[in-house]
Structure 1
Amino acid sequence: MNATDRTPADLLGSALAADPARPLVTFYDDATGERVELSVATFANWVAKTANLLQDDLAAAPGERCALLLPAHWQTAVWLVACSSVGVLVDIGGDPASADLVVSGPDTLKEARECSGERVALSLQPLGGRFPQLPEGFADYAVEVPSQGDRFAPYSPVDPEAPALAVGGVELTSAEVVERAQADAAAQGLGPGSRILSGLPYDGWEGLSYGLYAPLATGGSVVLCRHLDRLDEKGLAGRKESERVTATMP
């Protein structure tokens, strides 16, 4: 990262400039056997497309609130940085009824319908697949995002001091997200080339930090594991070895 980076989107821009080919997010779902690896460049492309979807098709503006009803997943990580790119506040597990828009996985569609604004649904199927049947009242992310532009420029500059993330009853600005991520990385001895395995959910700061923000802030990468409890001790040891993991959370 650079000393001038004050938002998660800034961190991604610095990572892209430094080494676009290195891995950034490697995702496992041990309930389905899925494995997805995204380089910095591939992740940044998904972020750009999602930010364009937010800004243009969904008409999201800085300061608006997005209720994010998604588990720890590579697509969730994309949405977190895309919202940062636009200046939209991400409310993790937030109340859809009080949000300007909602982004939901397949298990929270009923709750998400309480949002009177735009609604986006993700199937969370392997390879970013579509819903077999589009949920009524929702846009299917897998249908809408591929046609979006590969580069993103916000209509308004993002204010690093504006609220950017609501999690666990606390609201953080973009600058505070970056500062906390840097502090967490230092506490765990993470640095350039570090590769952290995280089985933590995205419903609290610790999971978000070690599952995305801290590796992004330090030139590292994350092996993000969903349903990690389905892996036995031998399987976990094998994954750590094959993925060249240098730190594990929890």
Structure 2
Amino acid sequence: MTAPFAADAHAPAELLRAALGEDPARPLITFYDDRSGERVELSVKTFDNWVAKTANLLQDELNAAPEDRAALLLPAHWQSAVWLLACWSVGVTAVPAGDPAEAQLVVSGPDGLAAAEACGGERVALALRPLGGRFPQRPEGFLDYAAEVPGQGDRFAPYSPVVADSLALESSVDGLPLKLTGAQTVQLAREGAARLGLERGSRVLSTLSYDDWAGLEAGLLAPLAAGGSVVLCRNSEGLTEDQWQRRIEAERVTHRLG
């Protein structure tokens, strides 16, 4: 039996390091926003660079530490995937769609800014504009991610080792709360990859939200655990089946979810 991809990885950030070591040039995330017309493709190396910069921002500028909780009020987007891996690189617990009032920091897209004001800690706003652009005017009380992240270092080293048995993710599955350590997150991602029939080189198209486990599994974690890649599609409700088929063929999609 062939060993699973990154068999010795016991935390989500280790899956990314394994992908970087195997083939840094291959695509990892391709993102479509069918409202703006944006298409962005990030190789493993480019994605890892964004993660390193974001983790440095978290650790050095936002003073985030292991066991802090980050409420992520973000859609399924390439920058959201960056923030998840950055949290796990630092040891911060990622809480997609979490309550900002119960988190040490909040990261929000434009649609969640009003709710994000309930966070008494650090607040970061993502404009989610094409090419990672800034807000035309920075939201009051928030750091503009696009303005802050470029100056961060391209390599990251945590001040404290990330423990695989520490809490990494708070989400939900079938409407029920789900709390996972880093090791459990990796294990469930591997199980999801097997259930979905993913393998090295699989390319998963997902339209699912990151607000629960199903979307996180399909749109990031299972492909990462399998050594595959993901095509994230947002605001795609108006696409016809012919348009979907052309995209599937152009992107060499092997699995369509959502």
Determine if the TM-score, normalized by the shorter chain, exceeds 0.5.
yes
Which of 37, 40, 43 is 1:39 aligned to?
43
Task: Give 3-state SS (helix, strand or coil) of 1:230's partner.
Answer: coil
Task: Give 3-state SS (helix, strand or coil) of 2:197's partner.
Answer: coil
Aligned to 2:210: 202
Structure 1 segments of 4+ aligned residues over 4 angstroms from their partners:
none
Task: Give 3-state SS (helix, strand or coil) of 1:108's partner.
Answer: helix
RMSD, matched Cα:
0.7
Aligned mates of 2:58, 2:246 — CA distance in 1: 39
TM-score by length of 1: 0.99
Partners of 2:6 and 2:225 within 8 A in 1: no
Aligned to 1:87: 91
1:2 is displaced (CA, Å) by 2.2
AA in 1 matched with 2:85? V
AA in 2 matched with 1:152? F
1:228 is displaced (CA, Å) by 2.1
Task: Give CA-to-partner distance per residue, 1:68-108, whole Å, 9 cap, x none.
Answer: 00000000000000000000001111111111000000111
Task: Give 3-state SS (helix, strand or coil) of 1:35's partner.
Answer: strand
1:3 is displaced (CA, Å) by 2.1
Aligned to 1:156: 160
Aligned mates of 2:224, 2:69 — CA distance in 1: 23
Task: Give CA-to-partner distance per residue, 1:152-199, whole Å, 9 cap, x none.
Answer: 000011011111111122111111111111111111110111001001
Partners of 1:69 and 1:105 within 8 A in 2: yes
Partners of 1:29 and 1:228 within 8 A in 2: yes
AA in 2 matched with 1:247? H
Aligned to 2:200: 192
Task: Give 3-state SS (helix, strand or coil) of 2:223's partner.
Answer: helix
AA in 2 matched with 1:95? D
Partners of 1:31 and 1:230 within 8 A in 2: no
In the alignment, is residue 237 of structure 1 matched against residue 245 of structure 2?
yes
Aligned mates of 1:81, 1:230 — CA distance in 2: 30
Aligned to 2:222: 214
- Segments of 5+ residues of structure 1 without an aligned counterpart are none
Aligned mates of 1:153, 1:215 — CA distance in 2: 25
How many residue pairs get aligned? The number is 250
Task: Give 3-state SS (helix, strand or coil) of 1:49's partner.
Answer: helix
Aligned mates of 1:143, 1:32 — CA distance in 2: 21
Partners of 2:66 and 2:91 within 8 A in 1: yes
Partners of 1:50 and 1:79 within 8 A in 2: yes
Aligned mates of 1:196, 1:237 — CA distance in 2: 14
Partners of 1:28 and 1:35 within 8 A in 2: yes
1:230 is displaced (CA, Å) by 1.8
Aligned to 2:183: 175
